[in-house]
Amino acid sequence: MLKIALCGACGRMGRTIVRLLMKEPDMKLVAAIDAPATPLEGEDIGKIVGEGKTGVKVVGADKLEQTLRETKPDVLVDFTTAEAAVENVKIACSLGINVVVGTTGFTPKQLEELKECIRKSEVRAVISPNMSVGMNAVFELLGIAATQLSDYDVEIVEAHHAKKRDAPSGTALRMADLIEQKTGRRPKIHSIRAGEIVGDHTVIFAGPGERIEITHRAQGREAFAAGLIKVIRGLFAKGKPGQVLESREVLF
């Protein structure tokens, strides 16, 4: 039985993750962490997500270290903000707890700080901007397309809900990285923030007399949560101490 601690448990993504974790026979949510001084502190996370009592009460991130010491999880999952995630991962690493980070918006300095902490503590880790199985398949397809269409014009269009804080999305940035690695040119990214869009990403390759589009549309956050479940299992099957992997490296 894998014991899971979840940071960002009361957010949109966090609530979806909680609901799926409650249905997994080989996983158990042992800690639900939200923002410091959250008004939901002390409430049962199961009731918050509409699934009934679990016995796991929400705690603020200011009590993260104490909570992790008490619950002893096998892995800390983080879906918060870049700034919060850095501190959360540092605490997990100090306690020898493996980490899976789906938070986006990291600066290069923050990302290197995370990786250095993981290397020194020798925990297993996955840091990835998108956990969905479909999107990780798209990442693989982009590598092939960019190699074979290296002289084509390439642009990326991504759309998310109006409340998403970072733009471009972490997924779009990862797409751009993959394309740049193959072509030596970094594509332009167009970001849309509107309504309740869960997440749309389209990469356009345009050449003489033709256009190729590779699109992924998330119809619900369940796609990310379901992928996360597989990533957690893959972390323990393929991850090595001190190594930082991407989700596609443990999914396939």
Give CA angle at 242 (1, 112), nearest 5°. 120
Cβ atoms of residues 47 and 21 within 8 Å: no
How is domain 2-127+222-251 classified at the CATH fold level? Rossmann fold (3.40.50)
Q: Which residues pair with 5 in a beta bridge?
A: 31, 76
pTM for the model: 0.90
Mean pLDDT for all residues in the chain: 96
Look at residue 52 in the predicted model and tell me its pLDDT.
87
- Listed by start position, the domains of the chain span 2-127+222-251, 133-218
How is domain 133-218 classified at the CATH fold level? Dihydrodipicolinate Reductase; domain 2 (3.30.360)
List residues with catalytic annotation: 160, 164
Distance CA 73, CA 242 (A): 18
Cβ atoms of residues 89 and 117 within 8 Å: yes
- Classify residue 31 as exposed, middle or buried by CB count within 10 Å of its CB (0-12, 13-18, 19+): buried
Run of H or E including 229? helix 222-238
Chain centroid offset of residue 230 CA: 12
Look at residue 108 in the predicted model and tell me its pLDDT.
93
Assigned token pair, 192: 């849309």
Cα-based torsion angle of the residue sequence 26, 9, 80, 112 in order, rounded to the nearest 10 degrees: -30
**Is residue 144's pLDDT more than 90?**
yes
Distance CA 79, CA 228 (A): 11
Residues 6+ apart with CB under 8 A from 84: 7, 35, 61, 78, 103
Q: What is the pLDDT confidence band of residue 165, given thresholds at 50, 70 and 90?
A: confident
Q: What percent of the chain has pLDDT over 90?
A: 97
Please tell me if the domain spanning 2-127+222-251 has the same topology as the one spanning 133-218.
no
Residues 6+ apart with CB under 8 A from 171: 104, 129, 130, 135, 158, 199, 201
| Span 197-233, pLDDT tens digits | 999 999 999 999 999 999 999 999 999 999 999 999 9
Chain centroid offset of residue 136 CA: 12
